[in-house]
Amino acid sequence: MCAAVQESKFLVQLLNDMTVGAVNLTVVLNVDNQSAIALAKNPVFHQRSNHIDIRYYFVRNEVQNGSVQLQYVPSENNVADMFTKTMSSIKLKQFIPRILGSTEQ
């Protein structure tokens, strides 16, 4: 999540530099880890979360500022998994139209 938030901040800044007016965008980040979403959205300190790295505080800060919105996507619908995990050919065929931008399913 941290790398995706950093990249989104860079792209928004690049868009601001390339346009005349300031662009205020809220980036929607699809995440398949509900625990990570809960930690990023809830600023309350928990005893079990005292090991959290500074990267998670960065994500939490961006969520609180409203520049990033975290949205849960179930693992079975997560297209990015095809780049990080092994998949069956059935699942791969399901994701190919979404990757290629096809509206057919």
Domain chopping of the chain, boundaries: 2-73, 74-105
| Per-residue pLDDT tens digits for 29-69 | 988 888 888 888 876 655 666 666 778 888 889 999 999 99
Cβ count near 90 (within 10 Å): 7
Non-local (6+) Cβ contacts of 85 within 8 A are: none
Cα separation of the two ends of the chain: 28
Q: E strands, 52-101, where?
A: 68-72
Q: Say what the pLDDT of residue 48 is.
A: 62
The helix/strand/coil state of 5 is helix
Q: What pLDDT score was predicted for residue 99?
A: 78
Q: Which candidate, 54, 61, 62, places its Cα nearest to that of 26?
A: 62
